[in-house]
Structure 1
Amino acid sequence: MTIPDITLTTDERAAELKRALGDRVLIAGDPGYDEARVPWNVAVDQRPFAVVRPETAEEVVQAVRAAAASGLRVAPQSTGHAAAALADTDLSDVVLVSLSGLRGATVDPTTRTARVLGGSLWNDVLEAAAPHGLTALHGSAGDVSVAGYALSGGLSFYGRAHGLAVNTVRSMQIAIADGSIVRASADENPDLFWAVRGGSGTFGVVVSLEIDLVPYANVFAGMLLWDASRAADVARAWATWTATAPESATTTLRVLNFPPLPDLPPFLSGRSVVVIDGAILETDAAASALLEPLRALAPEVDTFSRIPAAGLVAVHMDPPGPTPAVTTHCVLTELPDDAVDAFVAAARVPGLFMTELRHLGGALGRRPAHAGAVGSIDGAYLAHTVAMVPVAEAMVGADAAVRTGIAAFAPWAAENLALTFIDGGGADREAGFGVAVERLRDLKRRFDPNDMFAAAHAL
């Protein structure tokens, strides 16, 4: 591999990248650069030295080698849903490798696995898996990238029964700092395989991965919705219900404050509502019986029913397109009555779009023997707040709102965090890596001694 020349000027670095990568690279000032650097979370104004848009694994390697030769760092990014997690990273000497053109998923129904290219979205996997009666441990939105979500843990509506999505990763092809692509699995480069399952993009650019699928053609799922004036009653009932809910049930409780927008359905536009949603891996009769205490609260909307598994990504009503937002979270050790009251109070913090509790436990808290750096999450619930940032000037107020909301849960907050929910500057990444952090740092020095890869969750 070419020895990096750190003495090059900015213009010389740009010229070297252009020479090596041609029109696949965009430098600040180039037509298309401003469009290419915008992440899914459009509240984040990321300004990297350059953006490269590879469409093959070979082009990813070329980008890594060209950046290294020019003394630049590399940050892989598929969609930029969690772009705010790069807030602590100086991008002025970083080449952003946008993987949005490296998409595709193929399914092997016999082994119940999918091979997924590095920039693929969960929708790509679900579309390929559905004809075989299979699905995946995807998140609550179909347009999130498989690699970014799964390799950072991944909390799904199947989670209490099946654990974190990262544990479904069987192998990966990854472009590492020496300019090569290597396969990492339990049998090949096992140390790297362990590290990337949690360390994610800080060890290289994942160009493909193989994941296990789960055998659900359909699932009992949906939501219950009330006016937010019912938040206290609904929250107390959900807290009581989750205390004994079986591992087959994974649900969330949210208060949502919708602006009066014409694109929203009338039952949401301009309203504040409280919602319980999720999936129950039981027969229709068993799931309906389990829901009876919640349905007894007479929700005005009840969509729980048997649906195609691919439809589960629509249940949570995540935004369908790029959205400006700021978020924060904490993991809770328990949810006593006082914590339920804190949730209801937090939901009234001015400026919050959403205040959410996710039910953890079950398989999410059990670390498999084959797990990597991150394999489980120790906690009973996850609290999450979101505020919209319609204009840049609103960022300070929005950030204050989400932090105020989460501060209400301080008495019950655990010391750990969920990596996929870290989406802003100043967060303690060690709290997401836990006891794995020292070994991760040792492996980072081994596989990336010059710290070439900049990632959302830096070590």
Structure 2
Amino acid sequence: MYLARYLDGALILPGDPGWDAGRSAWQLAVDQRPAAVVLARSAADVAATLDTATTLGLRVAPQGSGHNAAPLGPLGETILLRTSEMSTVHIDAARRRALVGAGAVWAQVTEAAAKHGLAGLSGTAADVGVVGYTLGGGLSWFARSHGLAANHVTAATVVTADARILQVDAGHEPELFWAIRGGGGSFAVVTELEFDLFPITEVHAGAMYWPLERAEAVLSRWRDWTRTVPDTVTSLGRLLRFPPLEEIPQPFRGRSLVAVEAVAQLDRQQADDLLAPLRELAPEMDTFAPTPVTDLHLLHLDPPGPTPATGDGFQVTGLPDDALATLLAVAGPGKDVPLLTIEARHLGGALAPGASEGGAMSSLDAAFAVFSGGITVDADSAAAVHAALDALSTAMAPWRAPTSYRNFTERRTEGLAFEPAHVRRRLQEVKKTYDPLDIIRANHPIRPARP
């Protein structure tokens, strides 16, 4: 393929050295088999890839870390554009902003920003790609106080399907700038992203754990507790089933637990007073303590590296007693389910409709975001996890919100709404303007509007 002569990065074809490493996503359960892989090092590399793909009748799928790779589907007629080598991070402390390359992960930004007493709206895992996370909305531990990460994007460098390199912001290509803030990655390939940082250095954070048999009492108390907490507190209730593996710490290894995790932008006394109703339930473990933002990635017990796993999520309008009872009837104590985690994350606050303004996704119109996942090392475990995810989704259907959250939807879907119909129509018009031939592939695609 003549593309190689125009690249600063590398072109890898099937059978070449490095092929398997180049095509691998963070989700190791996803077997990506593209027509070719480009390891891009610059916006010019991205432009050359898009130009070549258009000439050859191929499509292009940008990918940083590949945490949500499964919804991309088969890539046989697609060039996989890996951006991991475009990982520069620059902190403008005076303006409280970060400028990051398409391949940067949150660990890099968190460490760099913390040196200036600042923090970004990162996810729970340190190795998630900043750009993909933000294009999909970006739900952080500070979401109830600061809203979605997408709302705080101030500018971007993008490459459009016709290989133009553009600077976009509120005054330049405003419709495209609106679309990339929460509408996903269908509209252009983002090569750099600029966004706001916040003067947060330490929070009161941690988790409480109880045996799974106490799930009903714990989740009911936590659900009631969320109705009273200020917007400076973001929390989740969680069912955990840990396999008996040596790499899992001893307090959790081989155990089934119910947990509450929370991050509070409060001082220690305020946080302790707030946590008292949960502590009345006498947790077996209680890790709440003053925590630097650089340690928050440890709270959620995310895998430290690429993992063969399958997950999926949905949103609910609430968790009344009958909803909790249904959840526990499917996946609570005494149930043999292959899901390592089932969590419900408290929304509201700055995430509520009308509370914030931004791009295509400026709110989440639900009370809780549910996400579940399990380890899928082979066909049998994959089938079992998919069946469990389907069973949970079906059981919770009476409480499902009208829309879902892109970043928590990790399986291919048809007809699933991530935004209201009028927002979807506007996104389709943006897609038609900037990529009418649908060259750029995203994990949750927006198709061009039809004439």
State the TM-score, normalized to the length of structure 1: 0.93
- How far 1:19 sits from its partner (Å)? 4.6
CA displacement 1:4-25 (0-9 Å, x = unmatched): xxxxxxxxxxx23345448711
Answering whether residue 346 of structure 2 is matched by residue 359 of structure 1, we say yes
User: Which of 136, 152, 170 is matched with 1:152 structurally?
Assistant: 136
Moved more, 62-71 or 262-271: 62-71
Q: Match for residue 84 of structure 1? A: 70
- How far 1:432 sits from its partner (Å)? 4.1
Structure 2 Cα separation of the partners of residues 184 and 356 of structure 1 = 36
Answering whether residue 173 of structure 2 is matched by residue 186 of structure 1, we say no
Q: Match for residue 436 of structure 2? A: 449
Structure 1 Cα separation of the partners of residues 336 and 418 of structure 2 = 26
Does the aligned pair in 2 maintain the 1:49–1:91 contact within 8 Å?
yes
User: Which of 158, 176, 182 is matched with 1:174 structurally?
Assistant: 158
CA displacement 1:324-380 (0-9 Å, x = unmatched): 111222211111111121232232352111111110111111446641111111011
Moved more, 428-437 or 416-425: 428-437
Does the aligned pair in 2 maintain the 1:349–1:401 contact within 8 Å?
no
SS in 2 for 1:132: coil
User: Which of 21, 24, 38 is matched with 2:24 structurally?
Assistant: 38
Structure 2 Cα separation of the partners of residues 85 and 34 of structure 1 = 20
Instruction: Kindly report which structure 2 residues correspond to 1:339-350, keeping only aligned pairs within 5 A, or say none.
Output: 339-347=323-331, 348=335, 350=337
SS in 2 for 1:199: coil
Does the aligned pair in 1 maintain the 2:122–2:140 contact within 8 Å?
yes
Does the aligned pair in 2 maintain the 1:163–1:366 contact within 8 Å?
no
Structure 2 Cα separation of the partners of residues 98 and 149 of structure 1 = 15
Structure 1 Cα separation of the partners of residues 383 and 413 of structure 2 = 14
Structure 2 Cα separation of the partners of residues 22 and 33 of structure 1 = 18
After superposition, the Cα gap between the structure-2 partners of 1:367 and 1:62, relative to the gap in structure 1 and judged at 3 Å, is farther
Structure 1 Cα separation of the partners of residues 291 and 308 of structure 2 = 30
SS in 1 for 2:275: helix
Q: Match for residue 304 of structure 1? A: 288
CA displacement 1:52-71 (0-9 Å, x = unmatched): 00122222222222222222
Answering whether residue 251 of structure 2 is matched by residue 267 of structure 1, we say yes
After superposition, the Cα gap between the structure-2 partners of 1:22 and 1:130, relative to the gap in structure 1 and judged at 3 Å, is closer
For 2:20, the aligned partner's letter is D
Q: Match for residue 60 of structure 1? A: 46
For 2:116, the aligned partner's letter is H
Answering whether residue 119 of structure 2 is matched by residue 132 of structure 1, we say no
Stretches of structure 2 lacking an aligned partner (at least 5 in a row): 447-451
Structure 2 Cα separation of the partners of residues 241 and 409 of structure 1 = 22
User: Which of 429, 435, 450 is matched with 2:422 structurally?
Assistant: 435
Does the aligned pair in 1 maintain the 2:35–2:79 contact within 8 Å?
yes
Instruction: Kindly report which structure 2 residues correspond to 1:56-455, keeping only aligned pairs within 5 A, or say none.
Output: 56-87=42-73, 90-347=74-331, 348=335, 350-367=337-354, 370-432=357-419, 434-455=421-442
After superposition, the Cα gap between the structure-2 partners of 1:325 and 1:435, relative to the gap in structure 1 and judged at 3 Å, is farther
Structure 2 Cα separation of the partners of residues 132 and 407 of structure 1 = 47
For 2:18, the aligned partner's letter is G
Structure 2 Cα separation of the partners of residues 121 and 356 of structure 1 = 23
Structure 2 Cα separation of the partners of residues 283 and 62 of structure 1 = 52
Does the aligned pair in 1 maintain the 2:9–2:39 contact within 8 Å?
no
For 2:293, the aligned partner's letter is A
Instruction: Kindly report structure 1 stretches of 4+ aligned residues shifted beyond 6 Å.
Output: none
Does the aligned pair in 2 maintain the 1:141–1:318 contact within 8 Å?
yes
For 2:101, the aligned partner's letter is L
- How far 1:277 sits from its partner (Å)? 0.6
SS in 1 for 2:430: helix
Across the aligned residues of Structure 1 and Structure 2, the Cα RMSD in angstroms comes to 1.6
Q: Match for residue 8 of structure 1? A: none
Does the aligned pair in 1 maintain the 2:152–2:358 contact within 8 Å?
no
Does the aligned pair in 1 maintain the 2:63–2:82 contact within 8 Å?
yes
For 2:35, the aligned partner's letter is F
SS in 2 for 1:127: helix
Does the aligned pair in 2 maintain the 1:328–1:384 contact within 8 Å?
yes
- How far 1:198 sits from its partner (Å)? 2.2
CA displacement 1:48-97 (0-9 Å, x = unmatched): 1111001222222222222222221111000110001212xx41111111
Structure 2 Cα separation of the partners of residues 399 and 269 of structure 1 = 24
State the TM-score, normalized to the length of structure 2: 0.95
CA displacement 1:153-198 (0-9 Å, x = unmatched): 1111111111111101111000111212101100111011011112
